[in-house]
Structures are given as C-alpha cells and as structure tokens.
C-alpha cells in the first residue's frame, strides 16, 4: 500500500477543513485581541503615557500572533487551491483594504515613538486604530458575503468568472447582512481586546476598557442573534442534491447544488452542531459578566470561548460548502470537490503534525515569559520600552 493511502481521501479533506478552521480561529483568538486593542487605543487611553501602556500590552506579541493569518492564507493556497483562486480574486479590493490597514500597524508601532511631538504620536495612534478596526470589520463582512454566496461561475475549464463591474465587486460586498456580520466581528474583537487589557493593564485604562468592552460584547451578542434569525428567514442557503462523492476528483462542476433552502436545515440533519452557537452565546455572556464584575484571566478565557463558538457556528452551518456561488450554484465549492490531491493533503498533514506542536509550545513559552501587567512607571522609566 502506498503510504498516503493509509488515510482515505475523504477523511483527509475533512481533516484539512478542520485544520483550516483551527488556523482561522487561532488567528481570531490571538491577533484578534491585538486588533481589538488597536481599535480601542484612542478611547481607553487619553495621555501619552496611557497610550504607551496600551501599545506595550500587545507590542511584544502582535507579530507572532499575525503568523496565524499567514498560515491560514498558506493553508488555503495549498489545501484548497480553487478556494484561494476564487476568493482572493472576488474579494481583491476588500483584501487590498485589509492589507493596507494591516500595514499601518507595524509602521505605527515602529515609528510612533521616534518623535516626541503630540501631533506626530496622535497621528500614529489613529493609524493603529485603523489597523485594528478596519480588518475587524471587513473580516466579518467577508463572512457575511460567503454565507449569502459570491457572484462567480466556473467555466468548463474551471476558470472563475465574476459578474459585474470591477468597482461593483467591492460595493456589492457592503450589503445589509454582510454589514451586520461585520458589526458582529467588530464588537466581538473589540470586546476581546478589552478583555486582554483587563489582564495586562491597570487603573483607569482598565475601567474604560471594561465599559467599552461591555457595550461591544452586547453589540456582538445582539448581532449574532439577529444574524441567526436573518439566516432562518431571509437568506437563501445551499444544499447538495443527492449523495456527495467524497473521494472523487476535485471538480465542482460534477456536483448538483440546490439554492433556496435554509442554512438552518443543517441543524435538523446534525443536531449536535447546535453546541457551537450555544458556546458562542455562553462565552460572550460570561465575558460581559466578567468585564462588569472585575474578572481578568477568566474574562479573557470566556471571550475566547465566545469567539470559538461564533466562528465554529459559521463553518458547521455551511458544511460541506466553503464558498457557494450565488449566480451558478453548480459552481459552488465544497469540501469534497475543491481540495488538493490526496498525496498533497497527506504530505501537508505530516508536516503539520511535526511543526504545529513546536509552534504551540514556543507560543506558550513566549506568553509565559511576557506575562504580567504593563504599568506607566515601567514604560516611562524603562529605556528598553520602545513603544
């Protein structure tokens, strides 16, 4: 038997679907609080010393956290090439806006303290705000559009074609449901950033973070509930017609897809997936409670659970779809027909099994070394504090 045949093709596809979810959730759990802190910066810190405290809570770790974003993109490219080609083409302008905003973050961190002028530093503070708030919003907008389906079709040779003018591709993303999903993401990550600040900062910064984080958590919870109702009664879902060929070649045009069913029928077929939204609501509710009652580490952990539940809800609700087509349902990409080859997925899995534990252990060690609160005295008197 050939080595890669030890694990069946259909199982490898599911494993890589799960691993992609792990990478995206890992990005939200780690770099999510970095973006949240950046978006909160102008509002929770008023003086230069306070803003330096806030920046130093994430300054030493944000680069490592962003690795999850790079790994997610790499996993999409290697494990799901059609998904990479179609999504990155269709969301090109949105991706450009996100990347432009993310570029402001390292520049802001590195250049903010190069000069003492108030205008100079205030400008970079608002750049850090944009670098946190814009991605937090647009990532949610992208998810909202995926749930509705993206206006693409595949030609006979699997070349993706998008309908509409180039500029309309971006404007079309800003539809009401997608904006609601964006607000859920925005509120969720700002609440996560507030929870991080309760662990790493102290004094008036934490008081402001708790107040704003509470409102952001309520926004995320309300938006999540409204999105669920909207999905049930106002958004067309997708379903495979007949049995899926889980071990077949990766050609989406071989599948028959029906549009117009409710996404929530997934909960009739797989009732156990209801645990995901339940965890989302539970985590958010307990994080809000922690923000109001003075919790620190527990609040951060509850916030992470809420994010895990919300993102898992999207993936489990859509399974096996990963990118539906709104204009040609037959072109929709699913777990069963949009992956790389059997051998490619196996080799990638072997590499992941070897290196993922190393990355996790190193990350845990970094957080252990950098654990503890950041104080105003520390950032103003320590010459090693560069932020």
Tell me: the pLDDT tens digits for 150-162?
888 888 888 888 8
Question: Which DSSP letter does residue 80 get?
Answer: -
Given a cut of 70, is residue 281 above it in pLDDT? Answer: yes
What DSSP state is assigned to residue 317?
A: H
Helix axes 9-44, 62-79, angle to 10 degrees: 150
Cis status of the peptide bond prior to 320, with omega within 30 of 0: yes
Long-range contacts made by residues 55-59, C-beta under 8 angstroms, separation at least 24? Answer: 55/109, 55/112, 55/128, 55/387, 56/374, 56/378, 56/379, 56/385, 56/387, 57/196, 57/197, 57/200, 57/201, 57/374, 58/33, 58/34, 58/196, 59/109, 59/386, 59/387
Checking if the pLDDT of 243 tops 80, the result is no
Q: Answer yes or no: is pLDDT of 386 > 70.
A: no
Report the share of the chain in percent with pLDDT over 90: 55
Rounded to 5 degrees, φ, ψ at 247 are -105, 10
What beta strand segments (E) does 120-224 contain? 152-154, 160-162
| Structural contact between residues 372 and 53, judged by C-beta atoms closer than 8 angstroms | no
Structure tokens given for 246: 């889980």
| Integer Cα distance of 340 and 333 in angstroms | 13
Cα–Cα distance for residue pair 205/209, rounded to 1 Å = 6
pLDDT 10s digits, 80-111: 998 888 888 778 888 889 999 999 998 988 88
Residue of 21, 193, 184, 185 whose CA lies nearest to 98:
185
What per-residue confidence (pLDDT) applies to 246?
74
Residue 168 pLDDT exceeds 70: no
* pLDDT 10s digits, 335-377: 998 899 999 999 999 999 998 899 889 888 988 888 888 888 8
pLDDT of residue 260: 82
Cβ–Cβ under 8 Å, residues 30 and 366: no
What is the structure's pLDDT at 253?
Answer: 81
Cα–Cα distances in angstroms (integers) from residue 279 to residues 189, 285, 357, in the given order:
16, 10, 26
User: What are the residue ranges spanned by the domains of the chain?
Assistant: 3-368
Please give the residue that has the higher pLDDT: either 378 or 79.
Answer: 79
* Average pLDDT of span 25-34: 92
Which residues have CB under 8 Å from 115's CB, separation 6+?
121
Mean of pLDDT values over 129-144: 94
- pLDDT-derived band at 3 (thresholds 50, 70, 90) equals low
pLDDT at position 333 is 92
Q: Look at residue 166 in the predicted model and tell me its pLDDT.
A: 56
The predicted pLDDT at position 384 comes to 54
């Amino acid at each position: 038997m050939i080595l890669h045949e030890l694990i069946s093709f259909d199982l490898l596809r599911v494993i890589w679907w799960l691993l992609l979810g792990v990478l995206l959730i890992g990005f939200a759990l780690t770099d999510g609080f970095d973006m949240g802190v950046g978006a909160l910066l102008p509002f929770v810190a008023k003086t230069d010393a306070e803003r330096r405290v806030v920046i130093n809570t994430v300054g030493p770790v944000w680069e490592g956290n962003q690795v999850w974003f790079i790994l997610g993109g790499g996993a999409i490219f290697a494990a799901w090439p059609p998904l990479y080609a179609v999504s990155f083409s269709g969301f090109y302008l949105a991706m450009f806006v996100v990347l432009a905003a993310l570029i402001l973050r390292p520049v802001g961190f590195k250049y903010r303290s190069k000069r003492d002028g108030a205008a100079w530093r205030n400008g970079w503070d608002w750049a850090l705000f944009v670098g946190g708030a814009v991605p937090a919003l647009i990532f949610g907008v992208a998810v909202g559009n995926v749930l509705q389906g993206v206006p693409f079709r595949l030609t006979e040779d699997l070349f993706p074609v998008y309908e509409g003018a180039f500029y309309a591709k971006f404007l079309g993303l800003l539809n009401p449901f997608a904006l609601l999903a964006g607000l859920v993401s925005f509120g969720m990550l700002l609440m996560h950033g507030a929870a991080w600040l309760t662990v790493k900062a102290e004094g008036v910064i934490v008081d402001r973070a708790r107040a704003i984080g509470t409102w952001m958590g309520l926004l995320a919870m309300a938006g999540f509930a409204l999105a669920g109702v909207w999905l049930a009664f106002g958004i067309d879902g997708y379903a495979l017609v007949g049995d899926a060929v889980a071990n077949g070649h990766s050609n989406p045009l071989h599948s028959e897809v029906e549009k117009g069913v409710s996404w929530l029928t997934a909960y009739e077929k797989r009732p156990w997936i209801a645990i995901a939204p339940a965890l989302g609501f539970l985590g958010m509710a307990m994080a809000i409670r922690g923000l109001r009652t003075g919790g620190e580490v527990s609040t951060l952990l509850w916030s992470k659970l809420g994010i895990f539940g919300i993102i898992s809800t999207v993936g489990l609700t859509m399974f096996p779809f990963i990118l539906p087509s709104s204009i040609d349902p037959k072109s929709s990409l699913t777990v069963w027909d949009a992956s790389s080859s059997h051998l490619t997925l196996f080799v990638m899995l072997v590499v992941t099994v070897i290196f993922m534990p190393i990355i996790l252990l190193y990350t845990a060690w970094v957080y252990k070394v950098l654990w503890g609160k950041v104080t105003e005295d520390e950032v103003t008197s320590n010459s090693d504090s560069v932020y």
